[in-house]
Amino acid sequence: MAVYTILDHHELQKLLSNFDLPELKCFEGASSGIENTTYFLTLTSGTQYVLTIFEYFTSEQLFPYISLTTILNQHNLPVPCPCLDKCGIALQYIAGKAALLFPRAPGKHIGITDITSCEQIGSVLSRIHLVTSSQRFNLSIINPCGLAWMKETFLFVKSSLDSTDQMMLEKQILLSEDLEHRQLPQGIIHGDLFRDNVLFDQQKITAVIDFYNAGRDILLLDLAIAANDWCYTQTDQNLDNKINALLTKYNKNRTLNNVEESSWNECLQVAAARFWLSRQKRVVLAQQGGGFAIKDPIEYKNLLLFHLRNG
């Protein structure tokens, strides 16, 4: 359950009064998500909004993400950006926590991907990368799940792993260091472009959301993160066609260079290792009494093994 901060109608209406909007009609908490509290708000006009309450982010940490989504939205990408209140301010506070209000995009998450959805992910991700790697793009965000995070997280979870798993992850950290020295193109990456961060309506992407893992890193790694979830963690037998669809559409907007093409499998490995570490960390935190939603880390361990076998 992703409702950690419990609010009532009065509290939500008080926040909405900061905006030039109709009154609140009804609301519901979202059950998806892991780190933040999310409410879906329906106003008396019938329009809908999404309120995200940040359980761990400070206002200072959120400012770059507000800027990032606003810039991408201004480039006509399907990226919702926060609403501005009557004073032209996006960042709000409720229950002592930072919050942002977004228009609710139509559509829903998809469970099983197909050729069309993989094509669209490749296309929209390449368009995002074109913006964030442009020389005119001067927004700087340190990747919260980059190489330094991998090293720190590995030390945190190391005792929960057997020696074979420890060795496998240590090699992935070394591989990450090697990738950083290959002069692969970089920019601000989404960092978490999973199925639950994209909305579709009538087989078209209506929104790419949740940029809170975004930061400067290797663009190819972002593509690998997406490929792992949209192509490799599916149960059907259409893997090669999905990968081809994803990469073909990506290349139509931003062509991968020779170094990127030769580094593809290694980026798939590192992407799998990062999410294995992330999920393992949440398992350890839950064992220590932390109230965290967890996903099975074994899924990404097995995916890493798959890429190692096919590298």
**Which CATH number goes with the domain that contains 91?**
3.30.200.20
Shared domain check, 280 and 173: yes
In a domain, 1, yes or no: no
pLDDT at 221 over 70: yes
Strand, coil or helix: 61: helix
Which tokens is 230 given?
Answer: 């949209």
Q: At what angle do helices 115-132 and 239-253 cross, to 10 degrees?
A: 30
Shared domain check, 202 and 79: no
In a domain, 4, yes or no: no
CA angle, residues 14, 47, 30, in degrees to nearest 5: 70
Beta-strand runs (E) in 30-165: 37-43, 48-53, 92-94, 97-103
Shared domain check, 34 and 70: yes
Task: Please tell me what DSSP assigns to residue 68.
Answer: H
Share of the chain above pLDDT 90, in %: 88
Question: Which pLDDT value is given to residue 2?
Answer: 63
Determine contact, residues 102/225, Cβ cutoff 8 Å. no
In a domain, 272, yes or no: yes
pLDDT at 302 over 80: yes
In a domain, 136, yes or no: yes
Shared domain check, 262 and 122: yes
Q: What share of the chain is helix, strand, coil (3-state, %, to 5)?
A: 45, 15, 35
Q: Of 83, 103, 123, which residue sits at a domain end?
A: 103
Give dist(CA 235, CA 232) in Å, integer. Answer: 8
Give dist(CA 201, CA 206) in Å, integer. Answer: 6
Mean pLDDT for 155-165 is 98
In a domain, 291, yes or no: yes
Into how many domains does the chain fold?
A: 2
Question: Which pLDDT value is given to residue 33?
Answer: 60
In a domain, 28, yes or no: yes
Enclosing domain of residue 95: 9-103
- Please give the mean pLDDT across all residues of the chain: 94
In a domain, 109, yes or no: no
Give dist(CA 87, CA 79) in Å, integer. Answer: 23
CA angle, residues 8, 212, 286, in degrees to nearest 5: 70
Amino acid sitting at position 226: A
Which tokens is 172 given?
Answer: 């992935």
Task: Please tell me what DSSP assigns to residue 239.
Answer: H
Question: Which pLDDT value is given to residue 135?
Answer: 87
Shared domain check, 260 and 140: yes
